[in-house]
Amino acid sequence: MKKFILAIGLVAATSAFAGDWYGSATYDQKDKQNSAQVNHVYGVTVGNKLGGGLSAEGRMENERVSVGDGTQKQEGLIQGKVSYDISTGTLLTPFVGVAVGQKQKSTLDFTYWVGEVGAKVKLGDLGVRYGWRQRTAFDNNSTNSYDTREHSVAVTYALTKADTVGVRYAQERGTSDYNTTGLFYTRSF
């Protein structure tokens, strides 16, 4: 928990200085494989492009888990992330990112880390993003096993210079197996 609080503090302190702010609202439907379970995930992200390809952001999620037998559970997540876009002087922009977060399930809470790599392509108002992510609990044991790999593809369209909409598809595999489809809206300030 101390690592998580420190990371959130660093993101907040770094973001307070300069850069371009943005906010995003997301909806994801996660379909658990070989199960009737469906998770509805509502998220909010606030971030700051600090310059030189570096950005910092905070994210919160509220997740409604419909088990399939009429039972519903509630889960939550809060995460701080730092990303770096690697300028290539071309249409292709590779990126790397690291994050730490706190996951809250109905019976337990635990901290986790994330490592992410991928690439973005921008073609006028249209953008395409591919990402690969590893997410693991710091104390990954049988009680709070949280060890997943995810491949995701997103397509975005810039409605204006400040407003972007997008769709996303992801496959998460590991201690949980989900196929996810999502929608998002991002506003730059």
Q: Considering the entire predicted model, what is its pTM?
A: 0.87
Band of pLDDT at residue 140, cut at 50, 70 and 90: confident
Within 10 angstroms of residue 79's Cβ, the number of other Cβ atoms is 24
Q: E-strand spans in the chain?
A: 20-32, 38-51, 54-66, 72-85, 92-104, 109-123, 126-137, 147-158, 163-174, 178-188
Within 10 angstroms of residue 117's Cβ, the number of other Cβ atoms is 13
- pLDDT tens string 33-85: 999 999 999 999 999 999 999 999 999 999 999 988 888 999 999 999 999 99
Between CA 73 and CA 107 the distance in angstroms is: 10
- pLDDT tens string 25-42: 999 999 999 999 999 999
Closest CA to 176 of 130, 139, 135, 126: 135
